[in-house]
Amino acid sequence: NAGVTQTPKFRVLKTGQSMTLLCAQDMNHEYMYWYRQDPGMGLRLIHYSVGEGTTAKGEVPDGYNVSRLKKQNFLLGLESAAPSQTSVYFCASSYWPVRAYEQYFGPGTRLTVT
């Protein structure tokens, strides 16, 4: 049982390049979330999904797109990376309905945009 895994762990992009971050969970969780964490700050919600085939915007969705084609995977895309998107990205999942509020986090992806 690997929990929540994220791929890649590190990435450096040039301004304007695109990339996709992959989050996978093997706990059969319904809800999945993408956050970003900037230095000295808490996490901010980018997008979330309440089930396969669904996505919704969070607090800071601009510049990002997401897809949840399979229940176990939640993809975060950057179509045209900007330096302001330099951050650490965390994926999380939670189990609805029994323990819908406790989130399990992945180890993070450190992204630098130059």
Partner 1 sequence: SQQGEEDPQALSIQEGENATMNCSYKTSINNLQWYRQNSGRGLVHLILIRSNEREKHSGRLRVTLDTSKKSSSLLITASRAADTASYFCAGGTSYGKLTFGQGTILTVHP
Q: Which amino acid would we find at residue 96? A: W
Structure tokens at 67: 């897809």
Total Cβ atoms within 10 A of residue 64: 19
Compare residues 85 and 109 and give the one whose CB is closer to partner 1: 109
Compare residues 62 and 102 and give the one whose CB is closer to partner 1: 102
Give the DSSP letter of residue 88: E
Q: Which of 19, 42, 44 is nearest to 33 (CA)?
A: 44
- Told to check if 94 binds partner 1 by CB under 8 A, we report yes
Q: Among 13, 23, 33, 75, which residue sits at the site for partner 1 (rule: CB under 8 A)?
A: 33
Candidates 20-28, 44-52, 61-69, 72-80; binding stretch for partner 1 (CB under 8 A) = 44-52
Structure tokens at 80: 């045209």
Binding site for partner 1 (CB under 8 A): 4, 31, 33, 35, 40-45, 48, 50, 56, 58-59, 90, 92, 94, 96, 100-108
